[in-house]
Amino acid sequence: MTVAVAEPVLEPLLPALTPWLRTRRWFGAGGGALDSVRPVVVSVVHDEAPVLVHAVLGVPRPDGTEQLYQLFLGLRRALPARLAGAAIATVPEGRWQGWTLYEATEDAALMGVLLRSLAVRGRRDGPRLERTSAHPLPVGLVPRPLSADQSNSAVVYGDRLLFKIYRRPEPGPHLEVEALRALTERHCARTPALHGTLYTDAPGGERLVLGMFEEFLPVEADGWQSALRQVGDCLEGRDSAAPVTGGFTAHARALGEAVAEVHAVLADAFPRTRVTPEEVAEEARLMKRRLRLAAAEVPALDRYRGRIGALYDDYARHAGRGCPVFAQRVHGDLHLGQVLPTADGWRLIDFEGEPDRSAAERAEPQPVLRDVAGMLRSFDYAAQTGLAAVRKRSADRTPGLRLRHARRAEAWAIRNRRAFIAGYAGAGGADPRCHPVPLRAFEADKAVYEAVYEARHRPDWLGIPLTAVHRLAGVRG
């Protein structure tokens, strides 16, 4: 196994690679001009067939800065049928002319090679693993790609280790790695343990965080899927214990407790400061600016600008009257898809913050109520998505039944939001019921963010945040 800096190896691959890049979900939001892609860091991790090439590419953004993308590329003379879906293109020229270039994270053989190469200590020019745990890396585990390909990609080793690959690595301290390291050091039972961080020290990419290895938490369904199932049962009356009330509230309560626990550990690990009224006023101005930009992208938001802006003003006035606001490290993008119901209770994952916000914005300490608001929005999303699924399944389209389903969905959301809040407050978190003004402002800000997110990524879902904006705009006080 060799590792060599091999920048020239990438040039013949680029023409085949760039059209494929456009098709990646993790590429979509960043975009960029693909005619001037720059190899930033390139290494051949395994130089015998199948070949493994690691690359970080720089793609110019319209504002003159550069968006980085990370790739693990495989090369084989011929691709076995099981890897057909991973094919990118046939290499047109150079050393591997006629070979097939493919997405290496789908290839168990190459992901095994990668882990073994990372386990070998010593200086290398390719990716380098900095271990958090003293235990040896379990290199014999069978790798498989995780099918949920979202902002990043992941490979699971033997249902024990999860390798998260940051597809858009960013220079500077890494929010998720920092948070998980601190939580692991403090033995937080509500988050996966961090086992190690992948860096590159190659010239041009010094100390760039490329990925991390964390404890894999096997679950049958994540929080979002479990909630959706419960909404369906509740609406269709399958939940025999409580046909109308639904059976998720105990989980929602426990989830509130878990979030409060994580917030307490983060408050211990990172600075927690009192935000001045001037800073809150500035934050309210930023929220208004985001609203204005959002309305330019999602015109349906425009008619709510006055009323939603007034919620932000209420928040600024509330702080101006001396109501204390504290900021600290938070999760940053908390929703039901970011929580896993394991046998030992809820665990929170993915501490990267909102993918559509800039790195600087995501790094800012925030009031914990931002996370609470995120989860409250998620109960609303689950209820509305569950309702849509039930309506689709149901052959009975009578208005009475549709209304009953809608009422039950709304009641499900209210009940679970309350249970979550009660759990959060009961476990020592600041009681959200005592802070309705900031909570409403944060919910509105989140719904506005979601409207932009949905317009960009899932236009069919746009109605969910827009309905929430409508509701929040009508509530003042």
Ligand X SMILES: O=P(O)(O)O[C@H]1O[C@H](CO)[C@@H](O[C@H]2O[C@H](CO)[C@@H](O)[C@H](O)[C@H]2O)[C@H](O)[C@H]1O
Ligand Y SMILES: Nc1ncnc2c1ncn2[C@@H]1O[C@H](COP(=O)(O)OP(=O)(O)O)[C@@H](O)[C@H]1O
Q: Give the binding site for ligand Y (CB under 6 A).
A: 146, 148, 150-152, 154, 162, 164, 192, 214-217, 222, 337-338, 340, 349-350, 352
Task: Report what 336 binds from ligand Y, ligand X, none; CB cut-off 5-8 Å by kind.
Answer: ligand X
Residue 76 or 331 having the CB closest to ligand X: 331
The contact set with ligand X (CB under 6 A) reads 150-151, 224, 333, 335-337, 350, 354-355, 377-378, 381, 450, 453
Task: Report what 386 binds from ligand Y, ligand X, none; CB cut-off 5-8 Å by kind.
Answer: none
At its nearest, how many Å lie between ligand X and the CB of residue 150?
A: 5
CA 12 to mean position of chain CA atoms: 33
At its nearest, how many Å lie between ligand Y and the CB of residue 452?
A: 17
Per-position DSSP letters for 307-330, written without gaps between them: HHHHHHHHHHHHHHTT--EEEB--
Residue 28 or 203 having the CB closest to ligand X: 28
At its nearest, how many Å lie between ligand X and the CB of residue 28?
A: 12
Residue 90 or 150 having the CB closest to ligand Y: 150
Residue 164 or 440 having the CB closest to ligand Y: 164
According to DSSP, residue 217 is labeled: -
Containing H/E element for 162? strand 161-165
At its nearest, how many Å lie between ligand X and the CB of residue 212?
A: 15
The set of residues, in sequence order, having a beta carbon less than 8 Å from that of 328 and lying 6+ positions away, is: 263, 266, 267, 270, 271, 272, 273, 365, 366, 368
Residue 151 or 230 having the CB closest to ligand X: 151
Q: In degrees rounded to 5, what are phi and psi of residue 318?
A: -60, -45
Residue 199 or 381 having the CB closest to ligand X: 381
Per-position DSSP letters for 340-373, written without gaps between them: EEETTEEEE---S--TTS-HHHHHS-B-THHHHH
Query: Which residue in 57, 47, 45 sits closest to 10, CA to CA?
Result: 57
Task: Report what 342 binds from ligand Y, ligand X, none; CB cut-off 5-8 Å by kind.
Answer: none
Residue 216 or 412 having the CB closest to ligand Y: 216
At its nearest, how many Å lie between ligand Y and the CB of residue 150?
A: 3
Q: Determine what percent of the chain falls in helix, strand and coil, rounding each to the nearest 5.
A: 50, 20, 35
Task: Report what 192 binds from ligand Y, ligand X, none; CB cut-off 5-8 Å by kind.
Answer: ligand Y
Residue 205 or 337 having the CB closest to ligand Y: 337
Task: Report what 217 binds from ligand Y, ligand X, none; CB cut-off 5-8 Å by kind.
Answer: ligand Y
In 186-248, alpha helices (H): 223-236
At its nearest, how many Å lie between ligand X and the CB of residue 377?
A: 5
Task: Report what 162 binds from ligand Y, ligand X, none; CB cut-off 5-8 Å by kind.
Answer: ligand Y
Give the whole-angstrom CA distance, residue 143 versus residue 12. Answer: 29
At its nearest, how many Å lie between ligand X and the CB of residue 420?
A: 12
At its nearest, how many Å lie between ligand X and the CB of residue 279?
A: 24
Residue 9 or 452 having the CB closest to ligand X: 452
Task: Give CA separation, 294 vs 151, 249, 270, 318, 452, in Å.
Answer: 21, 33, 31, 25, 6
Residue 43 or 230 having the CB closest to ligand Y: 230
Task: Report what 154 binds from ligand X, ligand Y, none; CB cut-off 5-8 Å by kind.
Answer: ligand Y
Phi-psi region of 98 (alpha: psi -120 to 50; beta: other; left: phi over 0): left
Q: Which residues is 87 bridged to in the sheet?
A: 102
Task: Report what 315 binds from ligand X, ligand Y, none; CB cut-off 5-8 Å by kind.
Answer: none
Give the whole-angstrom CA distance, residue 374 versus residue 424. Answer: 13
At its nearest, how many Å lie between ligand X and the CB of residue 231?
A: 12
Task: Report what 148 binds from ligand X, ligand Y, none; CB cut-off 5-8 Å by kind.
Answer: ligand Y
Residue 26 or 312 having the CB closest to ligand X: 26
> Where are any strands of DSSP class E within 92-132?
100-103, 128-131
As a whole number of angstroms, the longest Cα–Cα distance in the chain is 71
Query: Which residue in 229, 255, 231, 257 sits closest to 245, CA to CA?
Result: 231
At its nearest, how many Å lie between ligand X and the CB of residue 375?
A: 8
Query: Which residue in 125, 104, 8 sits closest to 53, CA to CA?
Result: 104
Q: In degrees rounded to 5, what are phi and psi of residue 374?
A: -60, -45
Task: Report what 377 binds from ligand Y, ligand X, none; CB cut-off 5-8 Å by kind.
Answer: ligand X
Task: Report what 361 binds from ligand Y, ligand X, none; CB cut-off 5-8 Å by kind.
Answer: none
At its nearest, how many Å lie between ligand X and the CB of residue 121?
A: 33
Give the whole-angstrom CA distance, residue 153 versus residue 151. Answer: 7
Residue 77 token pair: 């003379």
Helix 223-236 × helix 369-393 angle, to 10°: 50
